[in-house]
Amino acid sequence: MMLFTEVRGLPVVPSAAGAGPLGTVVSLTVDVTSGSVSGVRFRVGHLHREKVLAWDAVVTIGPSAVRVRSTGGTEPVVTHHDLLGRRVLTEAGTAQGTVLDAAFDTATGRVLAVFTTRGEVSPGRLLGLGDHALVVRAA
C-alpha cells in the first residue's frame, strides 16, 4: 500500500538497467468506475511537458522511484482531474469535505481508501470525478 502524496515527485525510470530518469510524477490518474489507478502523469524535460503512461506499463512503484516498461506508449495529455484537493459531494450535492490523500495497492493499482477532511471514503462509494468535485454515494 502507498499514498498518492508519497508518489508525487518520484522519478519515473525505465526498468532497463543504466537508463536515466524519464521525468517526475505529477499525479496519478484514477478511473473511479473501476476504482483503480489508470495512469501515471509525469513531467518531462526543461519545458516540463506532461505525459501520461498507462498503468499497465508500470513495473513497480517504491519509495524511491516508479519503474516502467517503456514510454513508447505514452498517451497525449487529456483533461485530467486530480483527486487530491478535490471537493467531495454526495450525489445529492451535500458537501463531504475535501480529499487529502488516497491509498492504493502498488501491485494492482486498486484504490483502497480516499482520505478526506471528514474521514475515510471507501472506493465502493466513488461515483465520478470531474471539474468541480469527487462525487460519492451517501454513507
Domain ranges of the chain: 2-68, 87-136
pLDDT in tens, 67-116: 998 655 555 545 577 899 999 999 999 999 999 999 999 999 999 999 99
Choose the CATH number for 87-136 among 1.10.3720.10, 2.30.30.240, 3.40.50.300, 3.20.20.80: 2.30.30.240
Strands 87-90 and 133-136: parallel
Q: Is the sign of the CA dihedral 46, 10, 97, 126 positive or negative? A: positive
The per-residue pLDDT for 113 is 97
Entry pTM: 0.88
Q: What is the CATH number of domain 2-68?
A: 2.30.30.240
Q: Are 123 and 110 in contact (CB under 8 A)?
A: yes
* Residue whose C-alpha cell reads 502524496 in the numeric block: 5
